[in-house]
């Protein structure tokens, strides 16, 4: 009898062990964004496949991935990275290629290749969201109502400190748009020395009034504290501060810069098959639409758009808060990843030198 129990127990534990081995490690950006992914992707995925999802936070998942793959000690199966990083890591052979045929078609039968927004499918990456860098202001502290990106760089008209991300990317584009350059000409102009000089000249105008931020959670804090009156920010973080925490923060869509976040699989991922399953599941029409009910980032599939409904509070319509909403796209710039893969080193070098002087 005793032997039987012991045997049974050992069988049960080994079964439990085997079940536990079925897991997938997903690395993302933490905060309200990671929460939206846990709710919309991780939980339904575990419910459907019985595979446990471990959520790991990083400041920028591209960095630990590069280190892990180069050291030959990979613990992450899926990572959420920015566009230029996805391209760069893929070019360097650090990522598994992703077979697009594994991605499910839209409910109406449109194949995945047509259902995703242009550029969302790459050799080694599948986009899940469209996010954007926007200018936001605290309506309690700013005098008047700023309406255009030019107002951000005009401290005479709207006095007060400005928050900007400490990086050349997005900052230089905004500076040019703030100087009246139409979105369509920004990258052509930045490709020339005169264009770069012009962008820095615009930044020079407000240099003394800038507070630099680095983590995505900082700008809502700076705005709410009154430390700055206007700041660039990730639109989803502002939405969460405004809607979930009732802060008087307003997004100004003029001059927004759109970008993708993509799922990638590092070479040598320990649970490769699960990782593929996870990506195929998460970038399906419904999970992408669900994700948008937790944070205001747009789904990368066209078919998800119609399913986007209310915020998780049950009363806020999400559609007008999406960076991809038609009204918000009037003067919008799509981040040119190729430009940044190439020019990142040079422009950041100059940016750092400009900061230090």
Partner 1 sequence: MTDATANGQTGQLTTADGKPLKQALARAQSRAKRKAFFLVLPLLAFILITFVIPIGQMLHKSFYNEGFTVHEEIGSGVRTPIMTNLAAWFDENPLGTEPNETAYAALAADLVVLKDLRAAGQAGTRINYEKSGSRSMFTKAARKADKLEPPFKEAILDLDKDWADPELWRVMRDASSSYTGNFYLAAVDRTKDVNGNVVMVDENRQVYVKLFQRTLFLSLLITFLTFVLAYPIAHLLATLPLRHSNLLMILVLLPFWTSLLVRTTSWMVLLQSQGVINDSLVGMGLLGDENRLQMMYNQLGTVIAMTHILLPFMVLPLYSVMRPINPSYVRAARSLGATSWTAFRRIYFPQTVPGIGAGALLVFILAVGYYITPALVGGADGQLISNLIAFHMQKSLNWSLAAALAALLLGGVMILYWLYDRLIGIDNLKLG
Give the 3-state secondary structure percentages of the chain, helix then strand then coil, rounded to 5.
45, 20, 30
Nearest-angstrom CA–CA distance, 77 and 81? 13
**What are the φ/ψ torsions at residue 233 (nearest 5 degrees)?**
-165, 165
* Sign of the alpha-carbon torsion through 168, 174, 179, 185: positive
The DSSP H or E segment spanning 220 is helix 218-225
CB of 51 to partner 1, least distance (A): 23
Q: Which residues contact 108 (CB under 8 A, 6 or more apart)?
A: 303
What does DSSP assign to residue 104? P
CB of 304 to partner 1, least distance (A): 31
Report the residue number, 142 or 300, with the smaller CB distance to partner 1: 142
CB of 69 to partner 1, least distance (A): 6
Q: Which residues contact 177 (CB under 8 A, 6 or more apart)?
A: 149, 183, 186, 255, 331, 333
Report the residue number, 60 or 331, with the smaller CB distance to partner 1: 60
Report the residue number, 69 or 130, with the smaller CB distance to partner 1: 69
- Which residues in 249-274 are b (16+ Cβ under 10 Å) and which e? bbbbbbbbbbbbbbbbbbbebebeeb
CB of 94 to partner 1, least distance (A): 6
Binding site for partner 1 (CB under 8 A): 59-60, 63, 66, 69, 72, 88, 90-94, 161, 167, 200, 207, 210-212, 214, 225-227, 267-268, 338, 341-346, 348-350, 352-357
Report the residue number, 5 or 357, with the smaller CB distance to partner 1: 357
35 alpha carbon, distance to own chain's centre: 13
Report the residue number, 59 or 273, with the smaller CB distance to partner 1: 59
CB of 243 to partner 1, least distance (A): 23
Report the residue number, 311 or 340, with the smaller CB distance to partner 1: 340
CB of 68 to partner 1, least distance (A): 11
Cβ-contact 283, 129 below 8 angstroms: no
CB of 204 to partner 1, least distance (A): 12
Report the residue number, 159 or 320, with the smaller CB distance to partner 1: 159
Nearest-angstrom CA–CA distance, 303 and 284? 9
């Amino acid at each position: 009898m005793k032997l039987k129990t012991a045997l049974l127990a050992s069988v049960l534990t080994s079964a439990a062990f085997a079940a536990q081995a079925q897991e997938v490690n997903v690395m993302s950006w933490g905060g309200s964004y990671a929460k939206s992914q846990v709710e919309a992707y991780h939980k339904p995925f575990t419910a459907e496949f019985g595979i446990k999802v471990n959520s790991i936070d990083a400041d920028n998942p591209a960095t630990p991935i590069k280190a892990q793959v180069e050291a030959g000690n990979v613990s992450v199966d899926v990572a959420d990275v920015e566009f230029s990083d996805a391209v760069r890591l893929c070019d360097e052979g650090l990522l598994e290629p992703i077979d697009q045929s594994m991605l499910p078609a839209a409910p109406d039968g449109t194949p995945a290749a047509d259902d995703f927004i242009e550029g969302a499918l790459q050799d080694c990456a599948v986009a899940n969201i469209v996010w954007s860098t926007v200018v936001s202001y605290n309506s309690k502290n700013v005098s008047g109502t700023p309406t255009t990106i030019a107002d951000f760089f005009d401290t005479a008209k709207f006095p007060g400190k400005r928050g900007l991300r400490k990086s050349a990317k997005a900052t230089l584009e905004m500076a040019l748009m703030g100087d009246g350059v139409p979105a369509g000409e920004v990258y052509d102009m930045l490709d020339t020395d005169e264009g770069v000089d012009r962008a820095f000249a615009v930044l020079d105008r407000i240099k003394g009034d800038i507070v630099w931020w680095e983590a995505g959670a900082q700008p809502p804090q700076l705005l709410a504290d009154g430390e700055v009156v206007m700041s660039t920010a990730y639109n989803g973080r502002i939405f969460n501060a405004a809607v979930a925490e009732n802060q008087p923060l307003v997004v100004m869509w003029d001059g927004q810069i759109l970008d993708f976040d993509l799922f990638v699989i590092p070479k040598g991922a320990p649970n490769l098959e699960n990782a593929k399953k996870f990506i195929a599941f998460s970038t399906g029409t419904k999970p992408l639409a669900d994700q948008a009910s937790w944070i205001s980032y747009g789904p990368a599939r066209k078919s998800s758009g119609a399913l986007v409904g209310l915020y998780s509070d049950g009363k806020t319509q999400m559609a007008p808060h999406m960076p991809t909403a038609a009204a918000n796209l009037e003067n919008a710039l799509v981040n040119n990843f190729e430009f940044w893969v190439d020019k990142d080193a040079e422009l950041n070098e100059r940016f750092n030198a400009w900061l230090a002087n």
